[in-house]
A and B are shown apart, each in its own frame.
Chain A
Amino acid sequence: MSVTTPDLEAPPSVPQEQTTSPKRKTSTFARVAKYTLLKMVSIFLSVIIAVYLTILIANMGGYVDQIVRGQIREFIGQQLRADQNYQQMDPAAKNEFFLAQVERAEKRYGLDKPFAVRSLTFLWNAIRMDFGTAQLMASDTGSRQVKLIILDRLGPTLLLVGASNLLLFFGSIALALMLSRSYGNFWDKLIIGFSPTSSAPSWFYGLFLILLFAAVLRWLPFGGMIDSPPPRDQLGYILNVGKHLILPTLAIILSNLFISIYNWRTFFLIYSSEDYVEMAKAKGLSDRDIQYRYILRPTLPTIITSFALLVIGLWTGLILTEGVFQWPGLGRTFITAIGLYDTPVIVALTIIYAYLLAITVFVLDFVYALVDPRVKIGS
């Protein structure tokens, strides 16, 4: 959690009248497209570096290699023990045969090449989302492919993140605008007083929400995404998922709401003392108009930047939140993989989180380009 103060280096541009000439429009489009493309390339590069770093850390001291080697030996040993011909060989030949088999397998896995080369292979595989096979875990369809395991679990995570982020974003903006209007009154002070509570992560709120609403009051389910057995009809299914969604969403919103309101209210207050707002007031524009066109518009880029930072923090906090709520998403899979020590799944999930982060940053950057007059109009 951090209190982000608006970046005053670049003063906000005064909202300009929309021009309607078609020529102007294409140039705006071109600017946004150029900005987006540049951002895309830079984010893509940083993702590749992030993924490579992940591979390096995962292979710290060749530790992962050792695990793979051990597994190869164990697997081949088991295979050979079941082999009648092998049983009858004399010990020296047995050992030689075993070592030859191990060497062949290691070569097949590429373990004979230096790490620098192998890490590049890993990187290429990771970019193509080819994460190999899991050691112990399996997807819903029973497949050992890490990719399928992750795809299975991606939906629930996106549902949770989407629901909570949208509510959080629009809820905070609405509340912050309301508070900035009635600055200094009881509600304003109350919300500001609550802002320190945002230092706790969402899983922590989850503990209390489960204790209160599931364990003590028994109003809502302890966790999971759907009752067992699930309702037959579609409407019942949706409502049931919705019921399970309430507590985790609430936990995520609670842990971020007050700090975002506090930050954004501050932005609104700073911008609402600008001269052009005074001017608008003097012209006798309605409060609503002033708020949306003169305060919210120029603040939006700053708010989106601060929201991006918030979402980045939220992605990682989600792992344990899913664990606490038994939400069948990526986070819970991560926890299971840690418990089972399933190396390929752990590495793959770390990389997937890097991708998801990058996509989030990219989407928010795109929205930023759409609302920031400096990009749109060019300065």
Chain B
Amino acid sequence: MQGIIKGFQQLLKYPSAVIGLALILILFVVSILTVVFIPRDEAIRLWRGGEAIWGQNPKTVPPAWTNLFRSKKLPETIVLTLNDEATQTEINERSEGENRIIVYSFNYTADEAPQDVVFSFTSRYATRNPFVSIFWITPDGREIRLMEQGINYNFSYRATQDTKLSRRLGGLSPEIGLFDNPETEAVDILKGQYQIVVDYITFENDSSISKADVILHGKVYGLFGTDHQRRDLTIGILWGVPIALAFGLVASFGTSIAAIIFAALGVWYGGWVDELIQRITEINLNLPVLSILIMIGTFYSKSITTILGATVLLSIFSGAIKSYRAIFMQVKESPYIEAARSYGASSSRIIFSYLIPRVTPLLIPGLVLGVPSFVFLEATLASLNLGDPVLPTWGKIIYEAWGTGGAVYNGFYYWILEPAILLIITGLGFALVGFAMDRIFNPRLRDI
């Protein structure tokens, strides 16, 4: 035990190990905070939520902080509602129903047009639906008519889909045309105070419009951007941390500890036990592990616990057990084992109290070095669409970005790079610590 503590103290002398430890510590803190502040059920609900939750977000846009590195600033999402302070309402009573004129105003400062301009209404009526007209007033005083029509209970209007408007704006795509300065030849975004006038008439006394939101979908969003389903990637990226750590640690520790115990049992009892363990190892080396995991994932269950269990089972009898065996063979002949045997210590006592603790320092590096490969294994499976069905993981984000999202072809690089870089950080953290430990605990390597 003292050897281990000493080893850890030595670890702090390696700058690479200190960096690695710091990375691991940060990941741990992030995962604890994530699990506390976004509980599992909440994360699942949000991640699987559709338009109702994410409707106000833009589609596949990079994180907001990327604006710091851009010369042309991209717009952030602007949401205007009836309750905003800047929104003014004028009511004209009619004999039946009413006429309301709502004026929204906002200051536009970005260098590019938004992704889309969306109006979303919720109305109440019995038989005759309200009639809505929308006008767009630019900073230079032009007035553009957007739509004039009767609306049903839940109605939304997307400027990008209005081909007539596009024609009236001189063939420009509407969301650009609305912000373009017509004086210049090229597309030139007009900055300043814009106004939107929503003028509606209801035809019944009980009829009203309870929600009239204007959403200008931005071209950047939040800390991590959004995906093709408008979801905030923050949830997926953050929840990927505890999952990756848990999978990597449990798989690596479970595998190593089981392998150590089996190796010790084989060496201590020898004979057919040893023979059996060696044969199982040889067979296991011939098993295509990933293919079998894929089979289990497709035929049986994609749940992360099943995959984790199968991974551990398939990895116990791997190449590592051979090197553990070689170490135990040497230790078995040591005088102190001989002494223990001569005073009549039981086999289990010798194995668990004398054999295994003696070699533990030698095995710790392998334990830590095993973590990244299991983290990547989970990502590999998820990238084959065999990730956990409900929880968001980094691998699943990569799968969606690469496959359905077409991130490479459409240039949504942030979408792949974010989970990929986090995978690298996780792998690197454990690898740096593991390699330093290998040098400390493996005396043969220390001399080199």
Chain A interface residues (CB < 8 Å from chain B):
1-5, 7-9, 42-43, 46-47, 49-50, 53-54, 57-58, 60-61, 63-64, 183, 193, 195-197, 199-201, 203-204, 207-208, 210-211, 214-215, 222, 266, 269-270, 309, 312, 315-317, 319-320, 323-324, 334-335, 338-339, 341, 343, 346-347, 349-350, 353-354, 357-358, 361
Given A9-B329, A338-B294, A316 contacting B438 (CB threshold 8 A)? no
* B291 touching A353, Cβ below 8 Å: yes
Q: Which residue of B lies closest to A47 (CB)?
A: B286
Q: How far is the CB of A112 from chain B (nearest CB, A)?
A: 22
In the complex, chain B residues 362-411 whose Cβ is within 8 Å of any chain A Cβ: 365-366, 369-370, 372-373, 376, 379-380, 383-386, 398, 402, 408-409, 411
Q: Which residue of B lies closest to A339 (CB)?
A: B385
In the complex, chain B residues 274-292 whose Cβ is within 8 Å of any chain A Cβ: 279, 282-283, 285-292
A357–B442 CA distance with the chains assembled, in angstroms: 31
Residues of chain A within 8 A of B299, CB atoms compared: 57-58, 60, 63-64, 343, 346
What would be 5 A-B contacts, judged by CB atoms less than 8 Å apart?
A: A1-B373, A7-B326, A46-B286, A199-B431, A269-B448
Q: How far is the CB of B413 from chain A (nearest CB, A)?
A: 6
Residues of chain A within 8 A of B444, CB atoms compared: 5, 8, 270
Residues of chain A within 8 A of B288, CB atoms compared: 50, 315-316, 350, 353-354, 357
Q: Which residue of B lies closest to A214 (CB)?
A: B408
Given A60-B300, A63-B300, A203-B380, A2 contacting B366 (CB threshold 8 A)? yes
Residues of chain A within 8 A of B402, CB atoms compared: 207, 324
Count, A-B residue pairs, CB within 8 A = 170
Q: How far is the CB of B389 from chain A (nearest CB, A)?
A: 14
* A319 touching B384, Cβ below 8 Å: yes
In the complex, chain B residues 414-445 whose Cβ is within 8 Å of any chain A Cβ: 416-417, 420, 423-424, 427-428, 430-432, 434-435, 438, 442, 444-445
Residues of chain A within 8 A of B366, CB atoms compared: 2-3
Q: Which residue of B lies closest to A216 (CB)?
A: B413
In the complex, chain B residues 304-331 whose Cβ is within 8 Å of any chain A Cβ: 319-320, 323, 326, 329-330
Residues of chain A within 8 A of B442, CB atoms compared: 5
Q: How far is the CB of A41 from chain B (nearest CB, A)?
A: 12
* A208 touching B420, Cβ below 8 Å: yes
* A196 touching B428, Cβ below 8 Å: yes
Kindly state the interface size class of chain B when it binds its partner: 35 or more
Given A266-B448, A350-B295, A338 contacting B283 (CB threshold 8 A)? no
Residues of chain A within 8 A of B369, CB atoms compared: 1-3, 199
* A49 touching B420, Cβ below 8 Å: no
Q: Which residue of A lies closest to B401 (CB)?
A: A207
Given A203-B383, A207-B398, A270-B444, A316 contacting B291 (CB threshold 8 A)? yes
A339–B420 CA distance with the chains assembled, in angstroms: 23
Check if B82 is an interface residue, CB within 8 A of chain A: no
* B319 touching A309, Cβ below 8 Å: yes
Interchain CB contact (< 8 A) of A46 among B283, B329, B435: B283
Q: Which residue of B lies closest to A192 (CB)?
A: B435
A5–B431 CA distance with the chains assembled, in angstroms: 16
Check if B296 is an interface residue, CB within 8 A of chain A: yes
Q: How far is the CB of B300 from chain A (nearest CB, A)?
A: 6
Check if B298 is an interface residue, CB within 8 A of chain A: yes
Q: Which residue of B lies closest to A315 (CB)?
A: B288
By secondary structure, the B interface counts as helix
Q: Which residue of A lies closest to B420 (CB)?
A: A207
* B408 touching A350, Cβ below 8 Å: no
Residues of chain A within 8 A of B295, CB atoms compared: 54, 57-58, 346-347, 350
Interchain CB contact (< 8 A) of A320 among B16, B285, B383, B423: B383
Q: How far is the CB of B219 from chain A (nearest CB, A)?
A: 19
A57–B295 CA distance with the chains assembled, in angstroms: 8
Residues of chain B within 8 A of A4, CB atoms compared: 319, 323
A316–B290 CA distance with the chains assembled, in angstroms: 6
* A196 touching B286, Cβ below 8 Å: no
Residues of chain B within 8 A of A319, CB atoms compared: 290-291, 294, 384
A278–B393 CA distance with the chains assembled, in angstroms: 54
Residues of chain B within 8 A of A208, CB atoms compared: 420
Residues of chain B within 8 A of A347, CB atoms compared: 295
* A9 touching B427, Cβ below 8 Å: no
* B380 touching A200, Cβ below 8 Å: no
A57–B448 CA distance with the chains assembled, in angstroms: 46
Q: How far is the CB of A169 from chain B (nearest CB, A)?
A: 18
Most buried by A among B287, B369, B370: B287
Q: How far is the CB of A271 from chain B (nearest CB, A)?
A: 12
A197–B372 CA distance with the chains assembled, in angstroms: 10
* A320 touching B380, Cβ below 8 Å: yes
A197–B428 CA distance with the chains assembled, in angstroms: 7
Shortest beta-carbon contacts, A-B, top 10: A196-B431, A199-B372, A353-B288, A316-B290, A350-B291, A46-B283, A199-B427, A353-B291, A46-B286, A50-B286
Residues of chain A within 8 A of B298, CB atoms compared: 338, 341, 346
Residues of chain B within 8 A of A266, CB atoms compared: 445, 448
Q: How far is the CB of B288 from chain A (nearest CB, A)?
A: 4
Q: How far is the CB of A187 from chain B (nearest CB, A)?
A: 16
Q: Which residue of B lies closest to A353 (CB)?
A: B288
Q: Which residue of A lies closest to B429 (CB)?
A: A196
Q: Which residue of A lies closest to B416 (CB)?
A: A207
* A200 touching B384, Cβ below 8 Å: no
A183–B445 CA distance with the chains assembled, in angstroms: 13
A165–B226 CA distance with the chains assembled, in angstroms: 39
A1–B365 CA distance with the chains assembled, in angstroms: 12
A357–B288 CA distance with the chains assembled, in angstroms: 7
Residues of chain A within 8 A of B409, CB atoms compared: 215, 222
Residues of chain A within 8 A of B300, CB atoms compared: 60-61, 63
Residues of chain B within 8 A of A214, CB atoms compared: 408
Q: How far is the CB of A305 from chain B (nearest CB, A)?
A: 9
Q: Which residue of A lies closest to B287 (CB)?
A: A50
Q: Which residue of A lies closest to B329 (CB)?
A: A9
Q: How far is the CB of A355 from chain B (nearest CB, A)?
A: 9
Residues of chain A within 8 A of B320, CB atoms compared: 2
Q: How far is the CB of B356 from chain A (nearest CB, A)?
A: 19
Q: How far is the CB of A347 from chain B (nearest CB, A)?
A: 7
A204–B300 CA distance with the chains assembled, in angstroms: 26
Residues of chain B within 8 A of A341, CB atoms compared: 298
Residues of chain B within 8 A of A42, CB atoms compared: 282
Residues of chain B within 8 A of A210, CB atoms compared: 408
Q: How far is the CB of A98 from chain B (nearest CB, A)?
A: 28
Residues of chain B within 8 A of A193, CB atoms compared: 16
Residues of chain A within 8 A of B416, CB atoms compared: 207, 211
* A316 touching B282, Cβ below 8 Å: no
* A9 touching B330, Cβ below 8 Å: yes
Q: Which residue of A lies closest to B398 (CB)?
A: A207
A63–B300 CA distance with the chains assembled, in angstroms: 8
A195–B330 CA distance with the chains assembled, in angstroms: 29
Q: How far is the CB of B248 from chain A (nearest CB, A)?
A: 10
A357–B376 CA distance with the chains assembled, in angstroms: 21
Interchain CB contact (< 8 A) of B286 among A9, A57, A358: A358
A9–B285 CA distance with the chains assembled, in angstroms: 21
- For the complex with contacts A4-B319, A215-B413, 17 further pairs of A-B residues with Cβ separation under 8 Å are A2-B373, A4-B323, A53-B292, A61-B300, A196-B435, A199-B430, A201-B380, A204-B379, A215-B411, A222-B408, A312-B285, A335-B384, A341-B298, A343-B299, A353-B291, A354-B287, A358-B286
